[in-house]
A and B are shown apart, each in its own frame.
Chain A
Amino acid sequence: MQIKNLKKHYLLLFVTLLAMFLVYPSQWYPFDMRLTLTSWFGAENYRALPQSTITPNSQSELACPNDPSGWRASQIIDGVSIEESLPCLADNPYGVAAFVLGTNNVSKETLQRSGLTSDAIVKGRDLDGDGDPDEIHIRLEVAELNGSSPISKRPVTTYDIAPGIQPGIWVFAPKLIGMAVENFETQEARYSLKLPSPAIRVEQGDVVKITLENTHYMPHTLHLHGADHGFIDNTGEGNDGVPLTSELPILPGQSRTYNLTPRKAGTMFYHCHVQPHVHVQMGLQGLFIIEENRPNNNLQTMNLGAGKVRAPSQSLKESYDSEYDLHYLDLDKELGARIQDNNDPRLITQSMHRDYDITDANVDFFTLNGRSFPYTFRESLIVSREGEKAKLRVVNGGSKGIALHTHGHKFTVIERDGVKLPKSNQTPQDVLWMATSQRYDLDLSFINDGTRTYGPGIWLYHDHQNKGTTTDGIGPGGNISAIVDKEYLDESGWPMTRGVGYSQYFSADYYKKKIPIWESYIPSFYAEPAKDNILLFRILLLMLFFGSFLAILRSLYTQRKKG
């Protein structure tokens, strides 16, 4: 009886082994065995590879939302003439007017339309009698975009740097009255609340006060990198914004005023100096521009989100036709996610300032003026006209260097870190290496001489380090933008490109890596292949037989033990 039982077991073992051998895919046989089999039987029969599957159409945003408010057009508001801004999304011109006149001097109507508080930018007396105010009081708050909430797993006060991309961000923000979101029905941050922190403009010799009102939940300061300011101000308070050397940080709900009367003009930088390796990287940084003193120089004190300066200074108008502030910033998605994990400030602080190790970190997103491609095409295009000249003030606020490259143009560096270069050093170039926090003023001329430009067109400009042109490794993305001749812009401000369609770049799925990049060209070439269900079936069968094989083996073992 027992021997018979054992025999049965051996037979079953053999049967399952044989079944496993039969279903085992022949393409996985050892190399030598396959060679031998080929020499006996020749190649195996053709089995068609899986068909291409077509990705279902993903939701695509409108490339260029229309501008019902007429914000793009040139206009005069409260006597301030505001230049046109041709790309699709333009700054609120009422904000521009309020920044030029001061929120204390504009009409009530303009102030309301600007969305600013009445103390956001206060302009006082004309101290040198040259027709423009020299007492400037700027107020900044600290805002968090894409942060966490105790009632939702989705980010709150959202800001997309590219379709569907919402990294946690901190910015210095102008004082905006009312809600931080567009309305109660959405979590979208209001239009003027954006990355990067505003570019700030003051005049050489102005008596400037900057009050940082810390509306955030962490301590912060303001450090005026490169701008002429005292270590201690005239009231004896620390004025450098560095907790290690000059003053205590500003705690939540508190404020401090920084004072400066800059003697030198130039393109400078401002940033938080509390745990700067994290806070600067999170977005607490902006351009700080000191313009040369000129009569009647009513400056646009803030340029929200950087970009085209719509009310440029007198000195700019002497030598240029337009001016652009370009702010490059890279972001680490793992760092940004740390403000989205939970809602307890103690845990967030631990996560950002102890658990996060920047020496092991890498950057994933590359922004120009707060956005990555394709959103850069909505707001960061440089618009050229033949024969004109543009001044670019560029800062690399990111943690890595950038190799700024222009297609179709060679630009000239005129200033570095706010200091003029000698004429002999001003030679045209088309790649510029910019270290972290470095500023360059560039002369970009649209003079068709084969050097300065090769003629009108749609010419990209971007970081030529390859990853800078991607969004978390997906291209085209990153800080790609373009220098576009006015003739190449359509009515809405969108460049009339002649290459690929943009709809897939405006879908969140593309940057979530869900869309095969060339599928639309020829699906059978580039789409995703379907899965090999036959192979899958064989593997599952193999596993099934292997399972019974093990069960029989176990039964055999217990039988023998009993025996």
Chain B
Amino acid sequence: MINQKLWVILLSLIFMHQSHGLQHSMSEDYGSMVMSSNHNNLPLGCERISGEENIIVSAGQRYAKDIPGTIYGMNQHEWDVDPCTRVTVTFINEDDVRHQWMVHGLPKYLYPAGMFYIEAMGGKTATGTFIVPSEDRNYLVHCDMTQHMEMGMRGQLVVGEGSGDLWAVTGITDPFYRASYLPDNLIYLSLVVLFLGYSVTSWLVRMRQKR
């Protein structure tokens, strides 16, 4: 407990420069880190902890192999929990490189910068606990290493009924900007079919007129 307070003080100093004065609390263990753990503090609107949810998240490039256009991934990219649930996430990093499981948009009075996250070094497992708020909402979950979210580590945490799916959740929703996968000779193909339509129709019209 004392340690945690100390970290809040230290980190508020550190992130003054980097994150414009936001406060963080975190614990670190063998190079892995859990930031903003919360076991007991209830979000506004929660009278009590409604239940316990244990989520096991495995992450690595292995989970991307079956999803075209991705490089990194998780064993699942959507998690559904009830409002006011105490969620314990066990994050298993199966790669040799760092990965994160980061939730954004949580209430800032409980979670500095509105963020709860777990970071695990290559091959490591880390566990963290937080309590979700009372309202129905979809929260972005991602890995914030450069291009990891863009290349597949993008999920959503749906609390209660949720508030509508986020875009580009891997395997769940479509990217907002989707590349068009079309042959190079599209223009010629289109012209040929255009010509085909024109000639067939004129032929049909002529046949009809003859009759």
**A binding-site residues for B, Cβ under 8 Å:** 68-69, 71, 92, 109, 112-113, 115, 117-119, 141, 143-145, 147-153, 156-157, 175, 177-184, 189-191, 193, 213-217, 251-255, 342-347
Complexed CA–CA distance, A56 and B114 (Å): 39
Complexed CA–CA distance, A255 and B95 (Å): 9
Overall SS of chain B's interface: loop
Judge whether B16 and A69 touch: CB under 8 Å. yes
Q: Which residues on A sit within 8 Å (CB–CB) of B208? A: none
A184: nearest residue on chain B (CB-CB)?
A: B104
Judge whether A175 and B150 touch: CB under 8 Å. no
Complexed CA–CA distance, A96 and B68 (Å): 42
Closest CB in chain B relative to A195 CB, distance in Å: 13
Closest CB in chain A relative to B40 CB, distance in Å: 25
Stretch of B18-26, B45-53, B81-89, B125-133 lying at the A interface = B18-26
Partner of B144 from A178, A213, A345 at Cβ < 8 Å = A178
Closest CB in chain A relative to B170 CB, distance in Å: 9
Q: B96 near A: Cβ within 8 Å?
A: yes
- Which residues of B (1-47) have their CB < 8 Å from a CB of A? 7, 10-11, 13-14, 16-20, 22, 28, 31, 33, 35
Closest CB in chain B relative to A198 CB, distance in Å: 16
Q: B98 near A: Cβ within 8 Å?
A: yes
Judge whether B71 and A217 touch: CB under 8 Å. yes
Judge whether B150 and A147 touch: CB under 8 Å. yes
Judge whether A113 and B14 touch: CB under 8 Å. yes
Judge whether B60 and A112 touch: CB under 8 Å. no
Judge whether A150 and B175 touch: CB under 8 Å. yes
Q: Which residues on B sit within 8 Å (CB–CB) of A178? A: 33, 35, 100, 117, 119, 144
Q: Which residues on A sit within 8 Å (CB–CB) of B115? A: 184
Complexed CA–CA distance, A153 and B175 (Å): 12
**B binding-site residues for A, Cβ under 8 Å:** 7, 10-11, 13-14, 16-20, 22, 28, 31, 33, 35, 60-61, 68-72, 95-98, 100, 102, 104, 113-115, 117, 119, 121-122, 144-151, 154, 167-168, 175-179
Q: Can you report 24 residue pairs joining A to B where beta carbons are below 8 Å apart?
A: A68-B17, A71-B17, A92-B17, A115-B14, A145-B146, A149-B150, A149-B177, A151-B168, A152-B176, A156-B146, A157-B147, A177-B119, A178-B100, A181-B144, A182-B19, A183-B18, A183-B20, A184-B114, A215-B146, A251-B61, A252-B71, A253-B97, A343-B175, A344-B179
Complexed CA–CA distance, A153 and B7 (Å): 38
Judge whether B147 and A153 touch: CB under 8 Å. no
Partner of B14 from A112, A148, A153, A253 at Cβ < 8 Å = A112
Q: Which residues on A sit within 8 Å (CB–CB) of B17? A: 68-69, 71, 92, 191
B115: nearest residue on chain A (CB-CB)?
A: A184
Complexed CA–CA distance, A152 and B18 (Å): 24
